[in-house]
Chains A and B, each alone.
Chain A
Amino acid sequence: MPDVSMVVNGEARSGDVEGRTLLVDFLREGLGLTGTHVGCDTSQCGACVVHVDGQAVKSCTIFALEADRAEVTTIEGIAGPDGSLSPMQKSFRDHHGLQCGFCTPGMVMTALKLLENNAKPSEAEVREGLKGNFCRCTGYQNIVRTILAASGQDIPVTSVE
C-alpha cells in the first residue's frame, strides 16, 4: 500500500493507505483523531470539515493521498497545547452554540475560516458561510450568534416572536 505523509496539527504524521482511503478515515482510524466526524458521508453535512493547506474542505470527499504532503488542521489542533479552549470554541460554549455536539467540530472549522476571510460578517453572510454545515438539532440560531459574537460584534438579544 502507498505511504502517505502530512503535517497534522503541526506534527509530521505518516501511514499506509489504500488508494481509496478517504482523508477522514486516515485521520480517524489511521491517526486516532476522532474529533472529526462523519455525519452523512455524501458531502452534504460538513461534520467532517478540516483545513487542508489553509482551506476548509470536507474530509469525506478528498482522498488521503490527495492530501499527501499537505498541512492539515483538525479540531484537535484548535485548542491551546494545555487544552484551553480557543476563542471560537469559547464562544460556542458561551452562546450555547451546541446541543448534541455532533456537528460542532465541522462548525468550528468552518467558522474559523469564515472569519478569517471576512472578519466582520453580517448575519446573512454567516448563514451563507454555514451553507455546507448541517445541525440536525437545528440549533442554527445560536450557532449564528456564536460566530457573530466571536467576530467581536454585538449580537441582538433573542426575541420571542
Chain B
Amino acid sequence: MYDFEFLKPASLDDAVAALAEEGAQALAGGQTLIPTLKARLAMPSALISLDGVEELRGICSDDQGRICIGAMTTHGAIARAMSGKVAGVAHLAGEIGDPAVRNRGTIGGSLANNDPAACWPAAALACGATIRTNVREIEAGDFFDGMFTTALDEGELIVEVKFPVPELSAYGKFEQPASRFALVGVFVAKFGDGVRVAVTGASEEGVFPWREAEAALGAEFGIEALEGMSPGAEGLLGDIHGTPEYRAHLVGVMTRRAVAACA
C-alpha cells in the first residue's frame, strides 16, 4: 500500500474541509477501500476517516415516516434495527459479506462506491430512497450513474439515506460465493401506488429498474404475473461467473423468489 496521511475529524464540517484538499479520499468502513489500497489500485495523499463523525451514525424516522439511516451506520446495525420493520432491507443488510465485514462496512460507503454488484443500490432504487449529502438531496433514480460512478461531486459526502417504507419488500440475492457480492440481486418493493423492481449485479451500467416486471406486478402482485419473463441479455454483464444470458435468466428467477418472499 502506498503511504498517505491519516486524518480522523470529529465533525462533518471538519471532514468536508479535509476532503477539499487535493488528493484526499473519504474512508467509511473501508471494507472495499482498504483491499483496493492494498492492491495499489488507489493512491490518495490523505485518507479522511469518517469513523469519528458521530452525526453520520444512527437510524431514525422523519415526519414523512421515512427511515433515515446515517451514512456511517454499518450493515450489521441496520440488519438488527430493521428486523421486523422493513423485511427486504433487513434481509439485504444481513446478507452482505460476512458478520465481521458487516460490523465495519457502511451503507454510505457502499452507495458512494456504486459497485455494479453491490446490494444497497438495489434497495435504494427500489424504495425510491433520497440520498442527503452535505450540500443537497439526490433522488436514488438520479444518483447511480453507471458502474462505480454516482452523481456525487468531488468532495461531496453522503450524510444520510432516507427510505420510504414499502408495504411489502424482499431481496432475492444469488450470491457469488467467493466475493459474496450479488451475481444477481433483485429488490422488490410494493407501495400503495405501484411496485418497483431494482436489479443489481447484472448490468454493465450497474443497478437498473426492470420496468416490464414493475408493470406486470403493478397489475397483479404475484409470481404468476412474471411467468416466463426475463429481461433481454443485451447490455448485461458477462464474465467467468456467468454469461449475459445466464444473468438475464437469473434476474427472472430472483425476481420471482423476491415476490414469493413478500407473501
Contact = CB atoms under 8 A, between A and B. Distances in A.
The judgment on whether A and B are partners is: yes
B8 interface: yes
Contact of A62 (B4, B34, B38, B98): B34
Interface stretch (B16-24, B60-68, B100-108): B100-108
B99 A18 contact: no
**Size bracket, chain B contacts:** 20 to 34
**Size bracket, chain A contacts:** 20 to 34
Interface of A: 2, 18-20, 22, 41-44, 46, 49, 55-58, 61-63, 65-66, 68, 110, 113-114, 129, 131-133
Interface in B60-93: 76
Nearest to B49: A66
B4 A43 contact: no
A120 to B, nearest CB: 17
Contact of A20 (B1, B35, B180): B1
Contacts of A2: 6
A61 B97 contact: no
Contact of A132 (B1, B8, B51, B97): B97
Given A55-B76, A68-B8, 19 more contacts: A18-B3, A20-B3, A41-B38, A42-B38, A43-B35, A44-B178, A49-B100, A56-B99, A61-B30, A63-B27, A65-B8, A66-B8, A66-B27, A110-B100, A131-B98, A131-B99, A131-B180, A132-B100, A132-B101
